[in-house]
Amino acid sequence: MTQDVSLIEPAKVRTLVVPVGEWTRSRFMEKVGELQERFEARLVDITPLEDPNFNPQGFPQGRLLFDFHTTLSNEEQAFFLHDFELYRKTFVLIGLVNKELRAPQEALELLQKKFPDSISHNLVYFEDLPVDDSKNIHCAFNSSLETIICDIGRNFLEALGLYYASYKHVTLRSPGAMGGASISKTALMRQPQLTTTSSSSSRILSNSLDTNTGSSLKRSTSFKSLGLNSGSSDQMKAKARQYKIFGNFKLLAGRYMDAMQNFAEAASTLHKFHDHIWLGSALEGLAISMLLLTYLRVPFQVPPFVSAICPLKEFEANSSQTGSAPRSSMASASVQSPRNSMSSISSKIAVIESQNVALPLLIKCISEKVLHYYEVSLSHNTEFAPQIVYCEHILRVARFMSYCHSHSELEKDLLKNGANYQPVASELNLGGSSLKNYFSKWEICHYTNRLFELQLKQMDLGSQIKVYTSLALIYRDLNFERKQAFISRILLVSLLPRHASESLLIHGDLHNNKVECLLEAYGVNRSPEKSIDDAARCSWVILQKNVLMLAINMASKAKDGQKVCEYSLLLLQKYSHALTQHEQKTILQNNILAFSATTKDIAYWDPFVLRKLYIVQLENHKVVPQKKLISNGKDQEITQHNSQVFNPFRNYGVRDTASKPKSATAASSFLLGETAEMVLGFQNPFKFDLIVTHLSFEECDKQYVDFLSSSVRRELPFTVKPNSLASIHLPVSFSKEVSTKHVIQRLNIGVFGLEPTPFNIVTAERMRNESSEESGRGKYGTFEFRVIREQPDLEFVGSTFNDNCQMMLEGTKETFKIVLRNQSLSQSANYLHFSHTTNIETNLSVDYWKKLPPDDLYDVEKQLIWLKQDCLKICDIPDEIAANSSIELTVDLDITQAPFDFKNFDIIIEYGFRPAHDDHFAFTKTLTIPFNITLKRSLEVSSLEVIPLPEPFPAGDNSILHASDTEKLNFNKGALLLLDIRNSWDESATVRLCCDKFSSNPQTLTAQSTKRFVVPIEKLDASFSWSSKEIPKLVGGRQFVSSGMTRDQVVAMRRNFWCREILLQFLKCEWKFHDVRATHGEVCFRQHLDKVDARTVDILCQQRDAPYHVQISSPQATIRMGETLKLTACVTANTHHPKYAEGMVQLDFLLYNRHTGLALPKSNTRLLYNGQLSHLVDPTTGIAVNLDILPIDTGEFEVGCCVDETHFNDEPVYFRVERSH
């Protein structure tokens, strides 16, 4: 706090406050603070002195300004400056006494002994001690602090008189001459202004001043009192220096008017003798005196020397800026000391009243001169301006300028130290009369930039600190945060390499404070881990990283482990992307881990360390029961429905997103006491190895699941390589039942041996624009699981099948037994559900139905339904299998309709324990018992053929038909079905074939032989609507894509289908082998019969697709030559046919030779006919047309009909002509 400068510093009495006795630091500082508040002692309050020079009554408006310090800084460095700049000396010493055992006088002497340099020693007691109230011993207990300050002031003034007396006869030397090399010369980077303009101006000035310097000397009364006579130039110079120092004394003593005069006189002399350094100093003193006088509202005349060296127009208060200086009520009184009036010069240089002067401009103007003279002095070997003097002057004036900028008037805080006052935003004073208008921020900045022409680095540390802190404060007042931060950074950087441990320790708090401000100024105080906005914001990473590194170095210098750690963590967390591998490793090892033992609350800094967590079942473990809802199968139907409805978007992945949540909600289930494997995924975004040293569940999770005792110890420490993700697998076991489900959200993780802390499972990073109520950066994942208690355990013991394999003949049935056992000792399986699947079903793809035409689909599904419902039947299904007991089940296996590729089937038993109180669900397991079947062919139908039956079939012994059969048959409507049945087995078989009304006698088929069966069947009814009856669909809820078949194709398919269905419906064939077991069974025609061909359909189904049907009939099949045969043709119309048209049609009879198949010409020698072969008929009336034929030759003939020469009749009429006997 004492490091900054203020403009009026040369007017302040440097005072050291030391503790005497026992003090706590805080209490001592509190007392010092009280003193600092009362730093000002008005001369009017001080008891008068006899000394004429420093008698307070000489200038009662004046003040004594104390500058209280608690440290002695740079005494030896400043020692050489004491003669030059007097105020640097510590004049007053105040000992604050508390619980001191020594007698006051003794303590005072000790103090004087210890601090011989000070000229006035004082003791202030804060105790209730009856101390003898000697001159230098004060008691704060009895009198107020203000009084004590005044007393101290009086003591000081007294001592100052004595001190000054010793100065009277000393030859004053410049600091450069005294200190030699130990005084750092001002190191200007640019060339000092020795060039044309300055020298010429100074020459001009000196010329112009020649006259009045002499006059001023003559007029000076005090010169005579000093005993100085105008002699040689050296003497004159020495005198002027004395005069200047005297001004400094007066300034300290608060007699500002005198000080101004002294400075002015000294300056004019020094100017004459080109003693630049002292001249500069005198001018500075002059400026300060004027400022203080203005502050005290004492009107004064600006010394003529000032107006001589500074152009008047630069500081004259013009119309726009008036009102700053003349503000005192005393102005009218115009109390001017006689000396003042005497010194007022009546020559060319006009007397300028202080009212007419814009003081800030004047001070600036003088300051420019001061700097100029200092710079000019640099060419001299010994008489040069020390750098600290130069710097401090700049700082003081800059301080004053910034003070002006932030204040509208000179206020009391002008006297205070800069660090203590807060720049008040006095925006209320909008009137023109403001100090603010004098200097712009830019100007102030420009002025301070002069410092950067110096080699500040070469100065000693204390001075550097002083310069930089003052500069930073100035920028702070200007609200130049970035500049301030920059200067602070330079300061810290310059502090860094020094081993100035004690000064760092003293100002440790200050530095921390400063570092915090610095970090804030560069925008480091953000938290991208928590806020998305922060993470997305761009910032100047280089600066921030650099500053943080600096902060770390500072803290480590101060041996502040806590801070080192804190900053290093910040750096690692936020700027890891800007750090090199080496830097990251160093930070981790040296800054964080090194202090982790001593510093509390260090947890791992990456909140996203845990990227995944889940538990998987070990493969070799028992089947874990799945939760099954025991209600109705409704939901199952729905899923099937969904999969079979055409979804045009499925290929585009739309359904994937829609069906996603389903998989996400599934919670894993584990058995109580089961060992499972936990998979943890860690991320390491850093460039060093991440070592996981501790893993544990949170308390709420621990009761359900925990790591196996030794596993964690064995697996840890676990290393995650730099910039990578790694997974660790750990065995866990479940210790408590969870009925619904348990959710793991976080895990305790310890890294690098640091204190373990809970970390959430972070599945993904949240993006900036995602709208979400949560403010966190990550999307948190969870792991849900359920722990269920012990369940029944069924085991398949055996079956009556050898090795679960059986060879079976097609079309047979079998009954076998299986034995099951519940191995569980405690749980009975009271929920049992039996089902089975065969290889036929499993081999089908899910969408088998899509590509199949409807007739094939009907076949396939008919078979599937049969397999599901009839193939396997378990007879005595129990309700419950008690714990530790066995049951025997009887299974009927029917393979009469099983396809040839039926090879194996599984009996599936879903079982579980169903708690009585809760019937909605049970945890079920599945036991699958596989069986293999080898199917052997028994009887096969190798071919099927249908032939028309054109004429009555002779029944006879050799005939395949019996007489009774033929009787049943109407040969007009009949047809013959030729079936070849083959016995593929090694035994002879007795076969009995049935078809509708017909049934054959049992016949024997020897092994490996084929026999043809002729079965008379009736043609199908014409009224049967072939084309309009759809092929039935056995499974509903499907969506078919149009097959693309034409209408005719559809009709043909339907006709084929129904034709086959009717045949299959009629045909039945039982067989029995002549073996020991008398194996018997049935032939499944559906397996053997392919689709019927078009010819069969034509035969069986006479209703062709024609608009007209012609039925020809003849009364006899055989006639003799010469007899007349009367054929009748009847035309009927099919009104449903699209080509049907009303009107007459032409009917033609066609005659063929049956043997040759050739048509007979219209006139021939074999058949004679009566009338015409062509007739016009109306088909709607249904009138028969007759044709009489007289054969004149033997042979076999065929008569057909043709309508409109396009439609032929289905069946011709045959007749045979025999010779007449």
Residues that bind another protein (CB under 8 A): 189-190, 440-443, 445-446, 449, 452-453, 475, 478, 480-483, 485-487, 489, 522-523, 537-540, 542-543, 546
At how many degrees (to 10) do helices 541-557 and 481-495 cross? 40
Q: Tell the smallest beta-carbon distance from residue 531 to another protein (Å).
A: 15
| CA 328/CA 298 separation, integer angstroms | 7
At how many degrees (to 10) do helices 145-167 and 25-37 cross? 80
| Burial degree of 693 (CB within 10 A; 0-12, 13-18, 19+) | middle
Q: Tell the smallest beta-carbon distance from residue 651 to another protein (Å).
A: 32
Q: Tell the smallest beta-carbon distance from residue 445 to another protein (Å).
A: 6
Identity (one letter) of the amino acid at 1218?
Answer: E
Q: Tell the smallest beta-carbon distance from residue 484 to another protein (Å).
A: 8
Q: Tell the smallest beta-carbon distance from residue 449 to another protein (Å).
A: 6
Task: Give the residue with the Cβ less far from another protein, 477 or 793.
Answer: 477
Task: Give the residue with the Cβ less far from another protein, 438 or 595.
Answer: 438
Q: Tell the smallest beta-carbon distance from residue 550 to another protein (Å).
A: 10
Handedness of CA 878, 884, 890, 892 (dihedral sign): positive
Torsion from C-alpha of 112, 115, 120, 122, nearest 10 degrees = -60
Task: Give the residue with the Cβ less far from another protein, 241 or 399.
Answer: 399
* Whole-angstrom Cα Rg for the chain: 62
Task: Give the residue with the Cβ less far from another protein, 546 or 590.
Answer: 546
Q: Tell the smallest beta-carbon distance from residue 350 to another protein (Å).
A: 28
Is 94 within 8 Å of 16 (Cβ atoms)?
A: yes
Handedness of CA 172, 176, 179, 184 (dihedral sign): positive
Backbone angles phi, psi at 339, to 5 degrees: -60, -40
Task: Give the residue with the Cβ less far from another protein, 525 or 1113.
Answer: 525
Task: Give the residue with the Cβ less far from another protein, 466 or 476.
Answer: 476
Burial letters for 406-435: b for 16+ Cβ neighbours within 10 Å, e otherwise? bbbebeebbbbbbbebebeeeeeeeeeebb
| CA 576/CA 592 separation, integer angstroms | 14
- The CA distances from residue 175 to 65, 169, 178, 651, 923, in Å, are 25, 18, 5, 93, 99
Q: Tell the smallest beta-carbon distance from residue 541 to another protein (Å).
A: 9
Q: Tell the smallest beta-carbon distance from residue 287 to another protein (Å).
A: 22
Task: Give the residue with the Cβ less far from another protein, 442 or 652.
Answer: 442
Task: Give the residue with the Cβ less far from another protein, 264 or 550.
Answer: 550
DSSP letter, residue 1056: H
Q: Tell the smallest beta-carbon distance from residue 547 to another protein (Å).
A: 9
Helix (H) or strand (E) holding 1060: helix 1047-1066
Task: Give the residue with the Cβ less far from another protein, 540 or 900.
Answer: 540
Q: What number of other Cβ atoms are within 10 A of residue 333's Cβ?
A: 9
Q: Tell the smallest beta-carbon distance from residue 444 to another protein (Å).
A: 10
Task: Give the residue with the Cβ less far from another protein, 313 or 713.
Answer: 313
Q: Tell the smallest beta-carbon distance from residue 491 to another protein (Å).
A: 13
Q: Tell the smallest beta-carbon distance from residue 580 to another protein (Å).
A: 15
Task: Give the residue with the Cβ less far from another protein, 195 or 1181.
Answer: 195
Identity (one letter) of the amino acid at 614?
Answer: Y
Task: Give the residue with the Cβ less far from another protein, 300 or 486.
Answer: 486
DSSP letter, residue 591: I
- Specify the 3-state DSSP secondary structure of 891: strand
Going along 236-325, which residue ranges are E strands?
A: 301-302
Ramachandran region, residue 1204 (left: φ > 0; alpha: ψ -120 to 50; beta: rest): left
Q: Tell the smallest beta-carbon distance from residue 534 to another protein (Å).
A: 11
Helix (H) or strand (E) holding 29: helix 25-37
Is 239 within 8 Å of 228 (Cβ atoms)?
A: yes
Task: Give the residue with the Cβ less far from another protein, 191 or 319.
Answer: 191
Which residues, in sequence order, are bridge partners of residue 821?
Answer: 795, 886
Task: Give the residue with the Cβ less far from another protein, 216 or 448.
Answer: 448
Task: Give the residue with the Cβ less far from another protein, 540 or 1040.
Answer: 540
Burial letters for 73-92: b for 16+ Cβ neighbours within 10 Å, e otherwise? bbeebbbbbbbbbbbbbbbb
Q: Tell the smallest beta-carbon distance from residue 554 to another protein (Å).
A: 16
Task: Give the residue with the Cβ less far from another protein, 579 or 744.
Answer: 579
Q: Tell the smallest beta-carbon distance from residue 841 to another protein (Å).
A: 56
Q: Tell the smallest beta-carbon distance from residue 590 to another protein (Å).
A: 21
Is 1108 within 8 Å of 1203 (Cβ atoms)?
A: yes
What is the DSSP annotation of 213-250?
Answer: HHHHHHH-HHHHHTT----SHHHHHHHHHHHHHHHHHH
Backbone angles phi, psi at 202, to 5 degrees: -65, -35
| CA 1017/CA 764 separation, integer angstroms | 76
Half-sphere exposure of 38 (CA within 13 A, CB side): 16
Task: Give the residue with the Cβ less far from another protein, 187 or 1064.
Answer: 187
| CA 628/CA 231 separation, integer angstroms | 122
Which residues, in sequence order, are bridge partners of residue 788?
Answer: 671
Task: Give the residue with the Cβ less far from another protein, 444 or 754.
Answer: 444
Q: Tell the smallest beta-carbon distance from residue 398 to another protein (Å).
A: 14
What is the DSSP annotation of 678-719?
Answer: EEEEEEE-SSS-EEEEEEE--HHHHTTEEE-TTHHHHH-SEE
DSSP letter, residue 1041: P
Could you identify the residue written with the tokens 């300061």?
Answer: 491
